[in-house]
Amino acid sequence: MTADASLQDPPALPPEFRPEGPLLHRNAAISEPAWVQRILISLALLFLLGFLLLPLISVFAEALRNGWVTYKDALFEPDAIAAIKLTLLVAALAVPLNLVFGIAAAWAITKFEFRGKSVLISLIDLPFSVSPVVAGVIYIMIFGRHGWAGPWLDENDIKIVFAVPGIVLATVFVTFPFVARELIPLMHEQGTDNEQAALTLGASGWKTFWHVTLPSIKWALLYGVLLCSARAMGEFGAVSVVSGHIRGQTNTMPLHVEILYNEYQFAGAFAVASILALFALITLALKSYLEWRHGDELAATRRH
């Protein structure tokens, strides 16, 4: 009896597709002479050093210039603590909201056909193209004292502008595209076969989403959430317009840094800035880790 070909294991991958990487690293045909390579690499490194690494180091150096005690005092000052708390609160509210909106938008766009789909896709990109200051001004025009909804809000004693809700709204607006943009290409590629398979096997819509759709997008989703939270914590323009800069109440960290700096309190400004930079670095590290994981998974889903 001959072997059944439909039972055979897949063939081993050729070397260039193995996880440990290709055997040949260099391709002489598209390489430049050694001296050109060295000059180009040095230029790139100098640029990175001068424009990215030095400023980052200087933030921490400036913050600690007057010693550890001053640094600690600047950070534990009540206004600074309020700013840090507010920033984290805003991120903690804006990111979950955008997580839900982002999944819903990506789900609608990639799994269904409907009229006006291209308009929706363009709308999702709007926050990327509109200046954040404009976004802030729009909210003032809608919810401000002289805005459309202003009188009604006044009567009912609801505060949106110059308060936490306004800051959250502005942040949600600015960070809206991150999750959706990350999910749409992936979900588009995955199609609807898996969902249909789950339905034929008797799963309800919710179980299909929970057990089939969500696991297949989880890494892209985490990646989008990280980008979204980095931006949410660092957002300046839109928040600056709607916050009103009330110290200890509506000042987020970026706004607090600016105020301290304008008042020549450099130690304080750099101390808070260093914490903001630290948050960014943590996000970046997490992102790199996920990119590494997520890259593997993406490669796995593409391998048919």
Partner 1 sequence: MNIQIRGIHKAFASFPALDGVNLDIESGELIALLGPSGSGKTTLLRTIAGLEFPDEGAILFGGEDIANRPVRERGVGFVFQHYALFKHMTVAENIAFGLNVRKDRPSKEAIRQRVNELLDLVQLSGLDKRYPTQLSGGQRQRVALARALAIEPKVLLLDEPFGALDAKVRKDLRRWLRELHDKTGYTTIFVTHDQEEALELADRVVVMNRGRIEQVGNNQQVYEQPATPFVFDFLGSVNILPGEVKNRELRFEGSDDVWDSESKETGLVDIYVRPHDLQLVEAAAPGLDAQVTLVQRAGAVIRISANLASSGERIELELSHLDTLARSRQPGDAIRVAPITFGLFPRAPHRQPKTLPDVVPNAPAESRERAR
Residues that bind partner 1 (CB under 8 A): 4-11, 113, 191-194, 196-204, 207, 211-212, 215-216, 300-301, 303-304
In angstroms, the Cα distances linking 75 to 57, 154, 230, 252 are 18, 36, 20, 14
Q: Which two tokens stand for residue 111?
A: 């799994």
Instruction: Measure the CA–CA gap between 292 and 19, rounded to whole angstroms.
Output: 12
Find, among 251, 246, 191, the residue nearest to 216 by Cα.
Answer: 191
Of 43 and 201, which CB lies nearer to partner 1 in the complex structure? Answer: 201
Q: Tell me how far, at minimum, the Cβ of 178 lies from partner 1, in Å.
A: 23
Residues in contact with 172: Cβ distance below 8 Å, sequence separation at least 6, in sequence order: 94, 97, 98, 101
Q: Tell me how far, at minimum, the Cβ of 196 lies from partner 1, in Å.
A: 6
Of 74 and 183, which CB lies nearer to partner 1 in the complex structure? Answer: 183
Of 8 and 156, which CB lies nearer to partner 1 in the complex structure? Answer: 8
Q: Tell me how far, at minimum, the Cβ of 20 lies from partner 1, in Å.
A: 17
Q: Are 83 and 272 in contact (CB under 8 A)?
A: yes
Q: Are 270 and 70 in contact (CB under 8 A)?
A: no
Of 163 and 203, which CB lies nearer to partner 1 in the complex structure? Answer: 203
Instruction: Measure the CA–CA gap between 167 and 86, rounded to whole angstroms.
Output: 10
Q: Tell me how far, at minimum, the Cβ of 302 lies from partner 1, in Å.
A: 9
SS (H, E, C) 84-123: HHHHHHHHHHHHHHHHHHHHHHHHHHHHCCCCCHHHHHHH
Q: Tell me how far, at minimum, the Cβ of 292 lies from partner 1, in Å.
A: 18
Instruction: Measure the CA–CA gap between 36 and 297, rounded to whole angstroms.
Output: 37
Of 13 and 46, which CB lies nearer to partner 1 in the complex structure? Answer: 13
Q: Are 149 and 143 in contact (CB under 8 A)?
A: yes
Q: Tell me how far, at minimum, the Cβ of 9 lies from partner 1, in Å.
A: 6
Of 113 and 155, which CB lies nearer to partner 1 in the complex structure? Answer: 113
Q: Tell me how far, at minimum, the Cβ of 201 lies from partner 1, in Å.
A: 4
Of 11 and 78, which CB lies nearer to partner 1 in the complex structure? Answer: 11
